[in-house]
Structure 1
Amino acid sequence: MTDVGDMRARYRRITRFAARYLVQAWWFELFLPRLGLSWVSARHRTRRLQRIAQRFHVLAVDLGGLMIKVGQFMSSRLDVLPPEITKELEGLQDEVPPVPFAAIRLLAETELGVPLERAYAFIDPTPLAAASLGQAHRGLLSDADAAATGMTEIVVKIQRPGIDQIVDVDLRALRRVAGWLSRVRLVSDRVDMPTLVEEFAATSLEEIDYLHEAANAERFAADFADDPRVGVPDVVWERTTRRVLTLQDVTAIKISDVDGLRAAGIDPSEVAAEFAAVMFDQLFADGFFHADPHPGNIFVTPRANAAEGTDAAGRSWTFTFIDFGMMGEVPESLRRGLRRLIIAAASRDGKGLVDGIRDVGVLLPSADTAELERAMTALFARFGGMGFAELQQVDEREFRAFATEFGDVVRSLPFQLPENFLLIIRAMSLVSGNCSALDPAFNIWDAIEPYANRLIREESGNVVQGFVKEARSAAGVVARLPRRIDDLATRFEDGRIAVQAPRLERRLAGLERTGRRVISAVLFAALFLGGILLRVDDVVFGTVLMSVSAIPLLHALLAGAVGRRGAG
């Protein structure tokens, strides 16, 4: 479906769907409440929202393209959308039929510039996997390429024909809908829809550029070049273009295949603990992480032969990551703050957690943190140290009440998650699910504590240096204090003390922002830990808490930045 008529029909179908339900939302959520009929709107709201999500699910599967990605994206936007919609879209997958091999062959030959038989010794016409943006086929390199690269078995990812046009049409339709929404004050006060769409567009365009994915794979491999726990497929650059990606075939035991792991003599509980550690390193040490670590993208690979033996820790296997289209980065400033938060979480230290929040920049040094510390202490007293097996014994109503209370608070805030932080939450959510599936008794605290101990050792030198710097600064202030007091007294005597009202107003505005940031800090610290711990049986509630932890963090950071710009 790539001709002009089909593309116009696709555009109209997307925009008409959006227009229909925007009008419905206006009627029920804005017009009726103004007439005093809010009860009419509230009576069937849950069913109405579920119906919208169900119909979008059908539309997405029927159209494919970016619409499935939009549904997956919306399912994780718990900061923006109500749970009735996000839960319904949670299971949306690339439910699309494969493209006939003749069309795939034509695209691949056009891209590579040679017949497929010359490019490869063999390509399996039956796809290994089919998705909305492309599909993968197993194959063999030619003898010449095999001799040059040292590999024979490969997987070739080939884009769906016409996907560029489809993505272009889908993005134009989404930008049109975002423009409509930006004119609705109820939406624009909470969400910058055009910016949100542009973030989604940037991620989507990167995902259909296989040269970008190949570069990501090599960067990831370089980050873990000296780590025996991690493997990455080699890229066959001679057979790679923007629309065709040729990789070493590294298919092994899926990380979710518990029976397969045991049959290979691999302990699933050991895999769970090590996988958490590897992902912690990506997120909090390297800062470049795999943002889509679902079971289909992670293999556990036994070492090929006795000569390879075991690594220093006695492991006879490695994690092999594939599919590097969706990657994320954690800025160093945020990474430092998150590391300190992990250290505090591992020691169940409410005050330390508040100090970590201050390091991130959420709290000013003068903020009164007594209530924050009490809130964190209460959180640790209730859930601290619990593993998944223990959490399963907690009354589900308690989880539900916790999620509902904070979910309502978050959706009332006029802020949204940045794309990068959304990827962090997505990665941590998938890690939590993978580990608990491998080992029902998996305890996230057991994974955090050794990692936190290592961070403590690494950060100790910085702590000492910081203490010396602060001590020198304090000594300088004390030394200058008598002269400053004498100068102040002289100015009083001469009548040169004046009150500057604009500065006072800015101070008052700063105090108001500080108060809002304190509230944000309470939400952030409580929910960052709770989200990791509470994602047990009901995925929605765990994900809600993890999302909530990021919203107030962003709120506090942006509030501080806006305040500083306004004061300049």
Structure 2
Amino acid sequence: MPLLLRLVRASVLFGTILVSYLIQWGLCWLLRHQERRLDGRWREADPVWLEQRWAPLHERNARRLYHGMVELRGVYIKLGQVLSLTGGFLPRAYTRELEKLQDQVPPRSFTEIAGAFRESLGRSPAECFARIDEQPLAAASLGQVHVAHLKGTDQKVAVKVLYPGIRDIIKVDMRVIGWALSIYNLFLPFNGAERILHNLTDLLRRETDYLHEADCMVRMAGNFTSEPDILFPSPVRELTSRDVLTMTFMDGFKITRTDEMRRLGLDPHVVATRLVQSFYKQLFLDLFFHADPHPGNFLVQAGDDGTPRIVVLDFGAVSEARPELIDGAFEILQSLMTHDNEALLRGIDKMGFVAKDGNRALLEQTISVYFQRLLKIEDRTPAALMRADRDQLQKLADPEMERAELRELMKSTEYPEGWFYIERASVMMFWLVAQIDPTVDALPIGMAHVMPQVMMRQFERAAAAAPAEPAPADDRVGVEVPIAAASA
């Protein structure tokens, strides 16, 4: 799609949604104004009446946005995925629609891909490989993957090529998205647009730099050298550039194929458990984690000993975690296991969710109410929570909270730097585990796997920070201390 046409279509999409809301807002204002004329004062809008007026419009615009993003592809698919995971400020109709977005697009021609390959490496695919499949193995919004064989060794490799011109498309799309979010932000009770734009920009920067991805691949593989059942591809450095990533080909089947696991005698429960343990290790021990754990990024193999092996793919969204975020998150998870409300509040504070000038008392009160109601849910496994509609979970919040308090609460909440990737990865891993084995309770399994090392790290850190105590001095000048007393 030409850039100008893409710009026009995106502008029309967001403009149409905006105008529909302005018209609806005007109609609601007129109705309220008419009521005021009848009795001389403003009436508080009835929540049921508001829901009846706005819900159908939210549904229509959510479907409109979904279909528009599917048509525009590229950056808009990424934006939709970000909003589906972090857009808690949006009406539920939007997140429900955007959750269906998949990063799968029709592939581009091999001629176009071969041209991009030559432009990046200075050699054609035919010069680099003994043979290469012109039909792609997979195609996504930013690039596609082809299977090839190296010259000389005939080793099977996967070649990921960034689409030509994709960075220009990203620049145009980000301008439109920035405009749309800034307009939308005028109607929000908190400053969310800047955060979304920053997160999306950072995500796209990472996912369009294949040299960075190759480095992340090597680093993460190094963190798992002592765990032979977690496997990683290796980059072929001489055939890797910013726009081309060549790596060893990894066999296996999609991790959600539980039927194939059982056919091979593999236990889905073991696979789900090891997936949880590997994620908790990345997050809490390595502070370096895979931030895009969707089903397509994990394969399963049957090991020689009959046990499952998990293959990890796609390291474009790998991220580092700040220690204070991880320490706070660990304390929050501990509080869920021990039912410790004070530990929960300490963890949230430690992570940086409390705004400096916010209403701390209101925030703590709201969190406490939510926490106590959450603990009353007996089955908190991923599968049970996945069956519950998000609207049901939202009802855990304080129903007595007035809209003015809600606005103040939003202003009292910060979104700490780096939390986007942790939240994104945790939510995606949560759903993935539930698909593999609904009986797996990720929290106790993951915490048991990392708790000894995390507790030791915290102890060592506290010991290093504590001031050294001076040795007691003997004030008796010239008095010789007996050896037995000195060693006592």
> What band does the TM-score fall into relative to the shorter chain?
0.7 to 0.9
- Alignment partner of 1:321 is 2:312: yes
- One of 333, 336, 341 as aligned partner of 1:342: 333
Cα 1:327/1:33, change in 2 over 3 Å: farther
Alpha carbons 2:353, 2:416 under 8 Å: kept: no
Residues 10 and 72, structure 2, Cα contact 8 Å, conserved in 1: no
Aligned match of 2:131: 122
Q: Which has the higher mean CA deviation after the structures are superposed, 400-409 or 448-457?
A: 400-409
Aligned to 1:438: 436
CA distance in structure 2 between the partners assigned to 1:181 and 1:376 by the alignment = 28
Q: What is the alpha-carbon distance in structure 1 between the residues aligned to residue 463 and residue 102 of structure 2?
A: 50
The residue that corresponds to 2:481 in the other structure is none
Deviation for aligned residue 1:275: 1.1
- Answer with 393-402 or 334-343: which moved more: 393-402
Cα separation, 2, equivalents of 1:176 and 1:248: 41
Q: Which moved more, 1:319-328 or 1:382-391?
A: 382-391
Q: Which residue of 2 aligns with 1:402?
A: 396
CA distance in 2, matches of 1:107, 1:123: 15
Q: Give the Å deviation of 1:130.
A: 1.1
Alignment partner of 2:7 out of 11, 17, 24: 11
- Give the direction of change, closer, same or farther, for the CA distance of 1:135–1:460 in structure 2 (3 Å limit): closer
Deviations 1:320-379 (A, max 9, x none): 211111122221111112222333333344444445445556789x98999799758844
Q: What corresponds to 2:78 in structure 1?
A: 69
Q: Aligned to 2:57, which of 48, 51, 70?
A: 48
How far apart, in 2, do the equivalents of 1:368 and 1:80 lie? 19
Q: Does the aligned pair in 1 maintain the 2:86–2:424 contact within 8 Å?
A: no
Point out which structure has higher relative CO (alpha carbons under 8 A, 6+ apart).
1
Distance 1:451 1:9, change over 3 A: same
Query: Is the aligned partner of 1:134 residue 2:138?
Result: no
Contact 1:33 1:41 in 2 (8 A): no
Q: Deviations over 1:294-334 (max 9, x none)?
A: 1110122333x5xxx5xxxxx84432211111122221111
Q: Shift in Å at residue 445 of structure 1?
A: 4.4
Change (3 A) 1:399 1:173: closer
Q: CA deviation at 1:168?
A: 1.7
Alpha carbons 2:341, 2:371 under 8 Å: kept:
yes
1:392: how far off?
Answer: 8.8
Match of 1:429 among 411, 419, 427: 427
Q: Which 5+ residue runs of structure 1 have no aligned equivalent?
A: 310-314, 473-568
Q: Match for residue 193 of structure 2? A: 193
Distance 1:220 1:438 in 2: 23
Corresponding letter in the other structure for 1:413: M
2-structure distance, mates of 1:380, 1:233: 40
Aligned residues: 448
**TM-score normalized by the length of structure 1:** 0.69
1:118-171 Cα shifts (integer Å, max 9, x gaps): 11111111111111211111111111xx4xxxx811111112232122112111
Task: Tell me what 1:83 maps to.
Answer: 92
The Cα offsets for residues 477-515 of structure 1, whole Å up to 9 and x where unpaired, read as xxxxxxxxxxxxxxxxxxxxxxxxxxxxxxxxxxxxxxx
Structure 1 residues 288 and 407: CA distance shift in structure 2, 3 A: farther
Tell me what 2:324 maps to: 333
The residue number in structure 1 matching 2:69 is 60
Which residue of 1 is the match for residue 205 of structure 2?
205
TM-score, length of structure 2 as denominator length: 0.80
- Three-state SS of the structure 1 residue aligned to 2:28 is helix
From the superposition, tell whether residues 433 and 210 of structure 1 become closer, same or farther in structure 2 (CA, over 3 Å): same
Structure-1 separation of matches of 2:71 and 2:157: 31
**CA distance in 2: counterparts of 1:368 and 1:21, whole angstroms:** 34
SS at match of 1:251: coil
What letter is aligned with 1:117? A
Tell me: CA distance 1:19–1:334, structure 2 relative to 1, closer, same or farther (3 Å): same
Aligned pairs for 1:266-281 (under 5 A) are 266-281=266-281
Change (3 A) 1:279 1:467: same
1:260 CA displacement: 1.8
Give the aligned partner of residue 283 of structure 2: 283
Letter in 2 for 1:51: R
Q: What residue is the counterpart of 2:301 in the other structure?
A: 301
**Contact 1:288/1:327 (<8 A) preserved:** yes
Of 195-204 and 36-45, the range deviating more from structure 2: 36-45
Deviation at 1:252, TM superposition (A): 0.8
Whether the aligned pair in 1 keeps the contact of 2:319 and 2:421 (CA below 8 Å) is yes
Mapped partners of 1:88, 1:395: distance in 2: 13
The CA deviation at 1:235 is 0.2
Q: Is the CA contact 1:61–1:94 (under 8 Å) kept in the aligned structure 2?
A: no
Counterpart CA distance in 1 for 2:100 and 2:391 is 23
- Contact kept in structure 2, 1:137 and 1:155, CA below 8 Å: yes
Q: How does 1:247-258 map to 2 (within 5 A)?
A: 247-258=247-258
Query: Which residue, 348, 368, 382 being the options, matches 2:376?
Result: 382
Structure 2 Cα separation of the partners of residues 80 and 46 of structure 1: 15
Q: Please tell me whether residue 159 in structure 1 is matched to residue 157 in structure 2.
A: no
